[in-house]
Chains A and B, each alone.
Chain A
Amino acid sequence: MPGENLILSIRNLNVVYWARRGWVKAVRNVSLDIYRGEVLGLVGESGSGKTTLALTVMKLLPTNAKILSGSILYYGLGKAVDLAKLSEKEIRKYRWKEIALAFQGAMNAFNPVMRIKDHFIETAKAHLGHVDEEEVLKEARELLKLVLLEPDRVLRSFPHQLSGGMKQRTLLALALLLRPKLIILDEPTSALDVVSQKVILETLRNIKREFSTTMILITHDLSIAAELTDRVAIMYAGKIMEVGGVEDIFYDPMHPYTRGLLKAVPVLKGTKEVESIPGSPPDLIDLPPGCAFHPRCPYAMERCRREDPPLVEVKPGRFVACWLYTKR
């Protein structure tokens, strides 16, 4: 039974936030399991709710957002804890110590008026109480070496003295400081040049090998997911469309949206032409009835326009939300 290996289990999660025009349905009825030691890719276009999902897990949603329903069960401490129900004070113990988050804003993730080393020290102090600063810095040096940086120079620096790629890697080192059981990486390579992207991927591979930390890798770039992940979940308009092993997803995509995404990936040495999916993502305030993807779907049937298909396990470990595969 996979239950023992579960680290995070999201069930029927619905998150909305308030905008001038109305309620934005950012996360719709998401259920997703993450297993110990795996790297799960969460893939979708921008605005598909990936980041909202990550922020919800850490309870970092902005004040105009709200969890409508659902649970986020965390198994890292031996028993199931519903993170969605924790108070602001209680969740603080889980942040970074249990679950760390490195997001796309790494350019601006560090306090501009503090040296990098103080970021490490204060993070340790916030969770471990009184700590020996030298101990923390020793640990930090090890981690910075792991992410291929010069530890002493980086620790001494202010954030503005580091490049974007260096900041991103420093953030990875900081994420590992307290040995969290789960790390969420939100677009770790976007906004970086190609060389820095390569280094980051290299670093992530090192981390995966060295620590076997569980990771959720959020990206809009399927090729990055292909390089690093074990399983992939495809998200569209706030909903999970398909989940499966990375090979299955790439060699045998089931959901029409996944197929569309794969066609849209530029292949360097291929003869295939890149086709982008026709149409544009739906308005999350005013969603189309039925399946949110049907206006763009080449296989759309009458039923797709009326009913939203549930996410169903069609093969062991393979989930799809599409009427093509769900007979019922």
Chain B
Amino acid sequence: MAFVRTRRRTLRRYAEGLKEVFKIIVSDKAGLVGFVIIIIYILMGTIGPMVVPYPAAGNPNEVYLPPSWEHPLGTDFEGKDVFAQIVHGTPVVLTVAFLTGFLTTLIGVFLGALAGFKGGIADTIIMGTADFILTIPQFPLFAVLSALVKFKDVSMLSVLLASVSWPTLARAVRSQILSMKEREFVEAARLLGFSTFDIIFTEMIPNIMPYIAVSFMFNSIYAIYAQVGLAYLGLVPFIGENWGLMLNRAWVLGAFFYEGSIWYIMSPIIAIVGLQIGFLLFARVLEVIFNPRLRVGG
């Protein structure tokens, strides 16, 4: 078997795996809704800022306006347009969500595969670290780190989130690899002289693609939670426009206790919850398909 051909076939297998996952999601009603929601947010995060002008300094005579044609979601305490703030907050939220999901997947798959395939000391160290990270309360850790490290940009936050989110995926990948190690197709590949790397990435990983996809989405969900939470507490000021920061401002300025601020407060909340629901519907469908135990009936 030619080496190059195997590589190309592998790429095709990954592409087919993703296509399969996608088909499954779209064929389910809830999954389709989740998919549409995520697409809307992606459009809002990419095209949105080009179409909607950046929220300029508002008119002090127009604070806390209810929705109107001019201000679809009303205005804030300075008279700035709320809708524009939501739109311009989207790119950051999405970047952190996807980047964290991506990095976590990368680290989790790599370390899990390494631990499962190599065993021995590598396994002990990786799994020991994973167990320890799982016991650390993560949110306080982020909070403390925010005081110790100067976050420069969004990607640094993603790296930090990913560096503590990988254990669950790594564990799952490891156990999958352990159970697959003994199976015939892996034995066969080894006898044919394929390298460990090739066996893992051409034979094993494609088999657990659905699980990795589910994990990607749950990690993105957690990244949204963590970044919005940190921004709400005012611990990551660098982020610029961000839904969490809008909540932080409302909290610090006491807007929460002003009845007329309801539109300003509910806008970021709905934006956050909507995105979370989108991801969750997406993930749940995959989970049900991946884990037949969850299926109703026989």
Question: Quick check: do A and B touch in the complex, using CB within 8 A?
Answer: yes
Which residue numbers of A lie inside 8 Å of B, CB to CB? 19, 62, 64
Residue B193 is within 8 A (CB to CB) of chain A in the complex: no
**Which residues of chain B come closer than 8 Å to A64, judged between CB atoms?**
297-298
The minimal Cβ–Cβ distance linking B214 to chain A, given in whole angstroms, is 24
CA–CA, A159 and B36, complex, Å: 50
**Which residues of chain A come closer than 8 Å to B297, judged between CB atoms?**
64
Chain A-chain B contacts (Cβ-Cβ < 8 Å), number:
4
CA–CA, A50 and B26, complex, Å: 41
Query: Main SS of the interface on chain B?
Result: loop
**Which residues of chain A come closer than 8 Å to B298, judged between CB atoms?**
19, 62, 64
Query: Main SS of the interface on chain A?
Result: loop
Chain A residue, CB-CB nearest to B298: A64
Contact residues on B (Cβ < 8 Å of other chain), bracket: under 10
Chosen A-B contacts, 4 in total, with CB atoms closer than 8 Å, are A19-B298, A62-B298, A64-B297, A64-B298
Which residue numbers of B lie inside 8 Å of A, CB to CB? 297-298
Chain B residue, CB-CB nearest to A17: B298
The minimal Cβ–Cβ distance linking A23 to chain B, given in whole angstroms, is 13
CA–CA, A86 and B210, complex, Å: 46
**Which residues of chain B come closer than 8 Å to A62, judged between CB atoms?**
298
CA–CA, A19 and B297, complex, Å: 10
CA–CA, A62 and B298, complex, Å: 9
The minimal Cβ–Cβ distance linking B101 to chain A, given in whole angstroms, is 34
CA–CA, A19 and B298, complex, Å: 8
The minimal Cβ–Cβ distance linking A22 to chain B, given in whole angstroms, is 14
The minimal Cβ–Cβ distance linking B144 to chain A, given in whole angstroms, is 41
The minimal Cβ–Cβ distance linking B163 to chain A, given in whole angstroms, is 38
The minimal Cβ–Cβ distance linking B153 to chain A, given in whole angstroms, is 51
**Which residues of chain B come closer than 8 Å to A19, judged between CB atoms?**
298
The minimal Cβ–Cβ distance linking A70 to chain B, given in whole angstroms, is 23
The minimal Cβ–Cβ distance linking A61 to chain B, given in whole angstroms, is 12
The minimal Cβ–Cβ distance linking B293 to chain A, given in whole angstroms, is 16
The minimal Cβ–Cβ distance linking A228 to chain B, given in whole angstroms, is 33
CA–CA, A64 and B298, complex, Å: 8
CA–CA, A62 and B297, complex, Å: 10
CA–CA, A209 and B5, complex, Å: 68
CA–CA, A7 and B298, complex, Å: 34
Chain A residue, CB-CB nearest to B297: A64
CA–CA, A215 and B44, complex, Å: 72
CA–CA, A290 and B132, complex, Å: 66
CA–CA, A94 and B183, complex, Å: 46
CA–CA, A64 and B296, complex, Å: 12
The minimal Cβ–Cβ distance linking B288 to chain A, given in whole angstroms, is 15
| A-B residue pairs, 3 tightest by C-beta | A64-B298, A62-B298, A64-B297
The minimal Cβ–Cβ distance linking A1 to chain B, given in whole angstroms, is 43
The minimal Cβ–Cβ distance linking B203 to chain A, given in whole angstroms, is 30
The minimal Cβ–Cβ distance linking A162 to chain B, given in whole angstroms, is 26
The minimal Cβ–Cβ distance linking B6 to chain A, given in whole angstroms, is 35
